[in-house]
Structure 1
């Protein structure tokens, strides 16, 4: 809503406003475009005009939503899920992502899954086996190996470090 309000204040007629995208009825002059960029930056947002960068942001949003905000991560193949959500061939999405970001979609997914594992470890409500099952790892060993590759620590050592750190903070 913030984006739409700012656009209306600037005199734009919005046809469609959705997370990450805006469709405007008229052509935008260079002056208005620069003004829009400044207003969006003040709100912590960025005007993306390059279609590849827009697509990358959409891919990232789908992955983040899938891993961090859905109650259950879809059991389907990630490539199928992303492809279906964005209505693009996965090969195209994968090649574009790698070209622009310098990492694969799979590496990006792994990074976010490990961030989710860290979060769940710190909540201390699930065992490592339950976390492994929840995030669709084939085994606890697979999760642990991936966690160690990304963080350099085992999941149990990571949890222990965080708990020790929190206890030390309590004494300050």
Structure 2
């Protein structure tokens, strides 16, 4: 088994697009997940180059160096936790990252800050706020349900973090989004 690491894969649609490119190129993969493609046997240099070119045209990038792979794994783990595993992350983020990436959290934290220019915590908060925005726009959950789903200790804490990050309260953000949306019959 051999693994190729891909940068900028952030959702299930990305996985589908990468899988589609692999199919077009005739490269059978054992699995495709966020940031990774696992092959039974290592693709040839020509196959790797063709894949890199096809993925680059779609906004993805193959990662070769170890530090970049670790950074991408950190990002993908956080994205998976925030966007795809509602209310499952009761454990500390530092414990989750250390366990999944088989590295000391201090090393991961320092590396992330050095390469990305921000902390893991700030990146995690930014992802959570993006998820809150998404859920507010869907308008299916109350703010207290959103706070529970994203493991906030209270609605007040969520609201404070949202305002600190966006400059708006959640209700003002929701109001602005509703004003910009036109009813289907007016489009």
- Give the TM-score, by structure 2 length: 0.75
Alignment of 1:7-26 (within 5 A): 18-19=32-33, 20-22=35-37
Task: Measure how far apart 1:17 and its partner are.
Answer: 5.3
Aligned residue pair count: 167
Equivalent residue for 2:136? Answer: 121
1:63 aligns with 2:78: yes
Unpaired segments ≥5 residues, structure 2: 1-18
RMSD after superposition: 2.7
Moved more, 118-127 or 162-171: 162-171
1:76 aligns with 2:98: no
Moved more, 87-96 or 162-171: 162-171
Alignment of 1:156-171 (within 5 A): 156-167=171-182, 171=186
Could you tell me how far apart the structure 1 residues matched to 2:121 and 2:78 are? 10
Alignment of 1:92-171 (within 5 A): 92-167=107-182, 171=186
Aligned with 2:181: secondary structure?
helix
> Larger relative contact order (C-alpha < 8 A, sep ≥ 6)?
2
- Give the TM-score, by structure 1 length: 0.81
Unpaired segments ≥5 residues, structure 1: none
Aligned with 2:88: secondary structure?
coil
Equivalent residue for 1:47? Answer: 62
Larger radius of gyration: 1
